[in-house]
Amino acid sequence: MLNPNLKLNSKIFDEDVEKKATREGFGKAIVSLGEKDQNVVVLTADLSESTRTEEFAQKFPDRFFECGVAEQNMAAIAAGLAIAGKVPFISSYATFSPGKNWETIRTTAVYNQANVKVAGHHSGIMTGPDGCTHQATEDIAITRCWPKMTVLVPCDSIESQKITTWAGEYKGPVYLRYSRDKSVVMTTEETPYDGKVQEFWISENPQVTIFATGHELYYGLLAAKELESAGIMVNVVNVASIKPLDEIGILELVNKTGAAISVEDHQVAGGLGGALAELFVAKKPIPMEFIGLQNTFAESGSPKDIIEKYGMGKTAIMEAVKKVITRK
């Protein structure tokens, strides 16, 4: 059942459940951060509309910097602004930022612990029809390997607003991962956010813990509901903070089940699955299965069709659960 303590959206499994993109939460959050703090500035690389920085630009034109199609310049200007006390958000597509400008961010922001917030939009296959070039599916891997980096992935537009606000108030470099397409709003304004893992779906005597990040969490919930009617009990956990990883919370959860599934809209190599596997091998070796892109790029298509074809939906998760139980 849905965890009543988290005050989740009661219409979550209804046909007419609200859907909204996580980039919308970002756009709202930067405006309210800008109202509260004069030092908050926003930079974009010719993507102000699609990365939802337009409202900020209209309200605070002096604190908005249009860099043109130049992601490296944008990142390094932001580092300079941060070193001088500003709180810059750089907003582009994740394949370009932190993709194309990876070394620039590494040297000028992360190495310096400069207070730069990297907003990576159009992550994952939710950028469907644009095709692989615009679907960032390695961005978690390339940011979570940086020492002392923070990497956050909101599961819906409401959590997105909370996470973006948290990042703006936190001092240090942060990577924020947003998606283009609308996805199910699973949380409510009342759902708490504190960077720890949260059990969205709970069962008595669960056999498997499903750890999910981003919009894919919804498929984990759909799988859990269907598995329950088939008599297979699981817990489904939202992992919004890939780094730092809530190691204590995660180990407590798998102590109850002894088996795990990772679910993400990302390559399984180096993403949430990789992060969990590193933890489990070091602290509690357990059987584990990985849902995500399996050593392949995706292609053009609707997000729904891509999720189906590449084994990232409800059915694939249910099969992974059954498989991991046999390995216990």
Partner 1 sequence: MDTELTEAKLFELNDLAVKARQLVIETLVEAGSGHSAGPLGMADIFVAFYFHILKHDPKNPEWNDRDKLVLSNGHICPIQYVTMAMAGYFPIEELKTLRKINSRLQGHPSRHYLPGLETSSGPLGEGISQAIGLALAAKLDKNKQYIYCIASDGEHQEGNTWEAIMYAGKNKINNLTVIVDRNNIQIDGFTEDIMPLEPFKDKYESFGWYVLEVDGNNIHAFEETVREARAIFNKPTVIIAHTIPGKGVDFMERNYLWHGNPPDVVEVPGSPAKGDQAKIALAELRTLQGKIESEHQ
Residues in contact with partner 1 by the rule CB under 8 A: 41, 62-63, 65, 67-68, 70, 72-73, 75-86, 88, 103-104, 107-108, 111-113
Give 67 or 202: the residue with its C-beta nearer to partner 1.
67
Q: Match 């994740």 to its residue by tokens.
A: 94
**Directed axis angle between helix 157-169 and helix 22-36, to 10°?**
30
Q: How many other C-beta atoms lie within 10 A of the C-beta of residue 328?
A: 11
d(CA 147, CA 124): 23
d(CA 321, CA 182): 27
d(CA 182, CA 199): 23
User: Smallest gap, in angstroms, from Cβ of residue 2 to partner 1?
Assistant: 45
Give 79 or 261: the residue with its C-beta nearer to partner 1.
79
- Give the bridge partners for 184, in sequence order: 19
Is there a contact between 236 and 295 (Cβ–Cβ < 8 Å)? Answer: no
User: Smallest gap, in angstroms, from Cβ of residue 136 to partner 1?
Assistant: 21
Give 108 or 198: the residue with its C-beta nearer to partner 1.
108
Which burial class, exposed, middle or buried, applies to 310 when counting CB atoms under 10 A from its CB (0-12, 13-18, 19+)?
Answer: buried
3-state secondary structure of 208: strand
User: Smallest gap, in angstroms, from Cβ of residue 223 to partner 1?
Assistant: 44
Give 4 or 85: the residue with its C-beta nearer to partner 1.
85
User: Smallest gap, in angstroms, from Cβ of residue 95 to partner 1?
Assistant: 17
Give 32 or 113: the residue with its C-beta nearer to partner 1.
113
> How do strand 40-44 and strand 64-66 relate by DSSP bridges?
parallel
User: Smallest gap, in angstroms, from Cβ of residue 76 to partner 1?
Assistant: 3
User: Smallest gap, in angstroms, from Cβ of residue 109 to partner 1?
Assistant: 10
Give 148 or 309: the residue with its C-beta nearer to partner 1.
148
Q: How many other C-beta atoms lie within 10 A of the C-beta of residue 230?
A: 9
Q: Match 């990042």 to its residue by tokens.
A: 167
Give 68 or 192: the residue with its C-beta nearer to partner 1.
68
d(CA 153, CA 144): 12
d(CA 229, CA 40): 49
User: Smallest gap, in angstroms, from Cβ of residue 104 to partner 1?
Assistant: 6
Is there a contact between 65 and 90 (Cβ–Cβ < 8 Å)? Answer: no
